[in-house]
Amino acid sequence: MNLSQEDWVAQLESDENAVILDVRTEDEFNDGYIENAVNIDINKGQAFIYDIEELDKNKNYYVYCRSGARSAKACQIMNELGFENAYNLLGGILDWEGETVTP
């Protein structure tokens, strides 16, 4: 499900069962990420699938990438794997107006 930044943030802030998932590369992640995000690189193919399958399907996932394209694909893959609540951040971190953390 695609959400605007406003809706994504509002839903995330009121969700006690939330996990923020960054599907960018490690290098992109190290340039700055949304606080508390978990990084699983969608470009790793089958390794991405294995890592996603390790996640708790009972949680709600707020997924983002650089522009929103890879995270949309990640949400689609997650839905196919049985995740019911994966929310894509439209516009990705490029359009993100909140704070980011640099490791």
Catalytic residue set? 65
β-strand pairing of 86-89 with 60-64: parallel
Contact by Cβ (8 Å): 38, 21: yes
Using alpha carbons, list the distances in angstroms from residue 12 to 4, 9, 23, 24, 29.
Answer: 12, 5, 17, 19, 20
Helices (H), 36-98: 46-53, 69-80
Residue with tokens 């996990």: 19
